[in-house]
Amino acid sequence: MDIVLEVNAITKQYKNGRGVRDIRFDIAKGDIFGLIGPNGAGKTTLLKIIIGLIRPDHGSVTIFGNNTTDQFEQAMQQVGCMIETADAYEYLSAYDNLKLSARFYPELPKTRIDDVLEQVGLAPYKKERVNGFSLGMKQRLGLASALLSKPKLVILDEPTNGLDIEGIVNFRNTIQQLARVHGITFLISSHMITELSLIVNRIGIMQNGQMIRVGGVDELVKPGIRLEQYIVSQLHTSMEGDHDDHRKYIK
């Protein structure tokens, strides 16, 4: 089993007491890993630490065998991501926004920007400035930017925010196809459990800055129980103060 991402004992505490504590998990090649939890659980903080936007107090992150602290360029070479909100340079067109990102990957073919814009359904608007885009269009552009470099690991934070139903279905199909056909690994965080449960094969459930469950969907969820039911039950159990019995790490 090829490990793509390893998170080792990550801790980050803010002055207000929030943050994440002692997070450990790994993701193997081809996984679609869902990071699930209510708002404020620490999902975005964890993702930001993974991609180097926030420095942890303790712990380390390894991507494709490269530690993100001292081998950041190598670690991020095959990573695409969209974190928090799909922001873009509003004074540039969709195409020009992607052109800036494409410069970091000189091996990409010149048609790649058009291909990826086609893939997310933004090709007709590629010359329009982003400041006229709706939230859903910006979200698609963010996804295009994440997929642009043909990454082997894609990290997405709340990727379906602002998407309409058609956009959500397209997004789901795109993710499943990329994972199945190209073997791309995904780490997707969302509080929309139903949506995420349709595509993930492994999950990590976060609450109050802690990872309360990690494992394969098949391992964790008994037959006959829907994933979302399982997740809700775990969150409830955790809230009842039963942390110690339930914190275990399943590889």
The site for another protein (CB under 8 A) is made up of 48, 51-55, 72-74, 76-77, 79, 81, 83-85, 87-92, 96, 100-101, 103-104, 106, 145
Quote the least distance from Cβ 231 to another protein, whole Å. Answer: 28
Nearer Cβ to another protein (96/118):
96
Nearer Cβ to another protein (32/63):
63
Quote the least distance from Cβ 251 to another protein, whole Å. Answer: 27
Helix (H, G, I), strand (E, B) or coil at 48: helix
Given a contact cutoff of 8 angstroms between Cβ atoms, the answer to whether 21 and 11 are in contact is yes
Quote the least distance from Cβ 87 to another protein, whole Å. Answer: 4
Question: What CA–CA distance (Å, rounded) separates 220 from 36?
Answer: 14
Strands (E) in 179-239, as ranges, are: 185-190, 202-207, 210-216
Nearer Cβ to another protein (11/74):
74
Range 229-234, long-range pairs (CB < 8 A, 24+ positions): 231/36, 231/193, 231/197, 231/203, 231/205, 232/193, 234/205
Quote the least distance from Cβ 51 to another protein, whole Å. Answer: 5
Nearer Cβ to another protein (51/221):
51
At what angle are helices 112-119 and 94-102 packed, to 10 degrees?
Answer: 130
Quote the least distance from Cβ 43 to another protein, whole Å. Answer: 16
Nearer Cβ to another protein (129/172):
129
